[in-house]
Amino acid sequence: MKAVLVVDDNLAVRMVLTDFLTLAFPAARVLQAENGADGLVLAQSERPDVVLMDAEMPVLDGYAAAKQLRQMAETRTIPIIAISSGTSNNELVKGLRSVADRSLPKPFTADELLQTVAGVLSRQVVLSH
């Protein structure tokens, strides 16, 4: 794995996820964005192996950002994991989960995070062969 992009407006969440991912995947770069618009820019320029996306964020929400990632040729195949604490009846959360490859409701454990990321990445490797 070369890079993981964490898109969440909560700095503490981004830092904890970065710490977990850096420990589990020391060779990978962990990129951070505080809103969907910045996440789109980073996804286009860096082409991460996986995107962890929150739903409710300022500037551009995660659902809108994920839809745009799916529409662009250079980012459409990047796996997206929805990470959101919103309830399943929240329209943004439902929308993001419908576009994402996997969903990981907050709060989650480090093990759940790493298993989900590893699962998405192993599926991506299988599909690319």
Note whether 124 and 76 are within 8 A (CB): no
Closest CA to 68 of 48, 93, 96: 96
Task: Please report the pLDDT score of residue 124 as a whole number.
Answer: 60
Task: Please report the pLDDT score of residue 36 as a whole number.
Answer: 97
pLDDT at 120 over 80: yes
User: CB count, 10 Å around CB of 66?
Assistant: 29
Domain spanning 3-128: CATH 3.40.50.2300: yes
The pLDDT tens digits for 17-57 are 999 999 999 999 999 999 999 999 999 999 999 999 999 99
| Amino acid sitting at position 126 | V
Cα 124 to Cα 79: distance, rounded to the nearest angstrom: 8
Extents of the domains making up the chain: 3-128
Cα 17 to Cα 128: distance, rounded to the nearest angstrom: 26
Cα 88 to Cα 79: distance, rounded to the nearest angstrom: 21
State pTM to two decimals: 0.92
The pLDDT tens digits for 47-97 are 999 999 999 999 999 999 999 999 999 999 999 999 988 666 688 899 999
Task: Please report the pLDDT score of residue 90 as a whole number.
Answer: 84
Task: Please report the pLDDT score of residue 127 as a whole number.
Answer: 45
